[in-house]
Structure 1
């Protein structure tokens, strides 16, 4: 299937999702408390079968879900995405027992998942994380090898209200990215505490403290000391879909701007009659469509196992999130003061659109990934040693 063309059934599914977001999910989301996990919204996502699709869909379908939900209800989009981010390592790398214990509950919305990678001094540089997993033979019990987790995590979505965390900790000091292990840590483990952070973005974000939290070989996701691959594999899947989230917001802002400028009286006509306004709207549409196509291309490359997935994923996230920031900001400018009033669609989008340029790898990190991949793919000039 060409990356630039959706099949009719995909287009129909996207339309259905936009309707569900506006008519069945937004009313539930509006009753939620900003900055808190909305379990009623998760339950509704579960009843609609959307959470289960996190484990049965490819990257392109994930992007279509996120874009379509974001168009009508960003809270529902984010709730779905955070479930996927936290649970994907369990789906992809968990043991049969781990998957059986947690994935059905994630799919029906009764268990909340979280992805615990970032730290105060290891956000963009994830390989520099310092949460320690100190060997503790006594903690292993019948499982054999055991560790105690000591340190902190920060900027963790769904913390501290999640029911389990995919936690990345250092099991081999001084080994960089090669000495990190991924653990599945239930929230009720002794020594694990958390606190909420009051952030601009309305979805829940918090910090976690680990005071000798016991984990065993039964809690490892994948292989010991190979957890960085678990983290990067998860991000390679979800980065294009962060771009899809951004495209959904940009599309909503574009449509609101088209409607507003076509009916707003100004300077003896409509705002849309002013060439400067019309050209700004055209630029908004151009950038949104370009970002959408790059997101679809990156997701299709992931699904096809094509080369260059990290570069494509980084490009998609970078272009789409920067584009959404531009489109939403321009939409606010063209709407004027009304767009800054609390409760206005654009006021909401303006708060939502800023965070994706930072989380799951800031824009600067994406540029670094793109450059690294490009140089790695470029052979040295003829006659020169590599």
Structure 2
């Protein structure tokens, strides 16, 4: 990244700056010019390599400590700048195992977290259903206790790492109450789940529709207590929500760098595209959007790491602004490139496809606006 001045902000400690340097060097050595021919194999390889390099340790709880959100955000921004797929591989190790990090038993943590951190096991987070996207409280997949086993029946869809995961943290209805009060979370080994369909999207990632046909798992495979699943899922998503914005920031920062390089070299008459006042105004707007996103993201990450602060509004603002503004920044970069911007194989075209899903997953932009507004109105009521 050409502009790294943000690392001097007071949100960061020396260890964060060291991480940014180490990961930048690793990306330069391992991700430059790397393009996947076999998506599944490439994702598995990225997980193994990130684990071997020690970076996946950032994704899981360390003893009594939750994952450090500033470290996660720096990692995702840096990885996304170089490769959207590498960011995906990293992020899903965190989200997929997040419920175990936050709510798992000692035995569950010992069994799964070292494997996730080393890249030996690929994690997945299975909440979304065909008729239940943002409205997770109304999911229909069920789990019933039968002796010493839970029996799961239902279907999940758009599950990241679907088809390549080693386990799925799966959310199902256990009936302790209506809506959100009757859900629980379970660790389900991949061999127990059927991959009904692989789903292709505009930015290639391993996604799948899964079916649970009377899947039997041990009684101790539940994460937390029965009926706590909605809270577990929401706290897991909230932990990683800021990092989605960080990934968007990495994509936007790369788009700005690509636009600067292209405009400086592209001839326009006797001058360059960068000499044009309209171009300069566009570049200024792009830089403004990038810095505003960075401030929101690292403020929210700092708040989460400090603890004792309800930062749901700050996290929602960071995710919302970073993803929406990154879309605009990348679109502007494509426009500045002209015909080259929509040519397959050109970086800004890849970024254009990479950014779109970030405005949807882990809480769509519309959901983030609801979170912000409800928090504002709650304060007004007081």
Structure 1 CA distance for aligned equivalents of residues 244 and 103 of structure 2: 22
Cα offsets for 1:247-278 (capped at 9, x unmatched): 00000000111111111111431111111110
Return the offset for 1:38.
1.8
1:182 alignment partner in structure 2: 185
1:272 alignment partner in structure 2: 274
Return the offset for 1:7.
4.2
Q: Is the 8 A contact 1:37 1:203 kept in 2?
A: no
Return the offset for 1:221.
0.5
Q: Is the 8 A contact 1:21 1:76 kept in 2?
A: no
Q: Return 146-155 or 50-59, whichever deviates more.
A: 50-59
Cα offsets for 1:81-129 (capped at 9, x unmatched): 0111001111221122222221111111121100001111111111111
Q: 1:42 aligns with which of 43, 47, 50?
A: 47
**Count of residue correspondences:** 371
1:156 alignment partner in structure 2: 159
Structure 2 CA distance for aligned equivalents of residues 111 and 362 of structure 1: 28
Q: 2:251 aligns with which of 249, 252, 255?
A: 249
**Partner of 1:153: helix, strand, or coil?**
strand
1:341 alignment partner in structure 2: 343
- Residues 1:127 and 2:137 aligned together: yes
Q: Is the 8 A contact 1:117 1:167 kept in 2?
A: yes
Cα offsets for 1:34-66 (capped at 9, x unmatched): 366621111110111001121244111110111
2:4 alignment partner in structure 1: none
- Can you give the 5+ residue segments of structure 2 that lack an aligned partner in the other structure? 1-6
2:27 alignment partner in structure 1: 21
2:174 alignment partner in structure 1: 171
Structure 1 vs Structure 2 CA RMSD: 1.9
Q: Return 208-217 or 292-301, whichever deviates more.
A: 208-217
Cα offsets for 1:12-48 (capped at 9, x unmatched): 4313312211321345x52452366621111110111
User: TM (normalized to structure 1)?
Assistant: 0.91
2:290 alignment partner in structure 1: 288
Return the offset for 1:354.
0.2
Structure 1 CA distance for aligned equivalents of residues 205 and 85 of structure 2: 7
Q: 1:220 aligns with which of 219, 222, 244?
A: 222
- Can you give the 5+ residue segments of structure 1 that lack an aligned partner in the other structure? 141-145, 381-386
| Distance change in 2, residues 1:110/1:289 (3 Å) | same
- Residues 1:209 and 2:219 aligned together: no
Q: Is the 8 A contact 1:117 1:168 kept in 2?
A: yes
Structure 2 CA distance for aligned equivalents of residues 218 and 20 of structure 1: 39
| Distance change in 2, residues 1:309/1:8 (3 Å) | same
Q: Is the 8 A contact 1:4 1:296 kept in 2?
A: no
Where in structure 2 are the equivalents of 1:319-358 lying within 5 Å?
Answer: 319-358=321-360
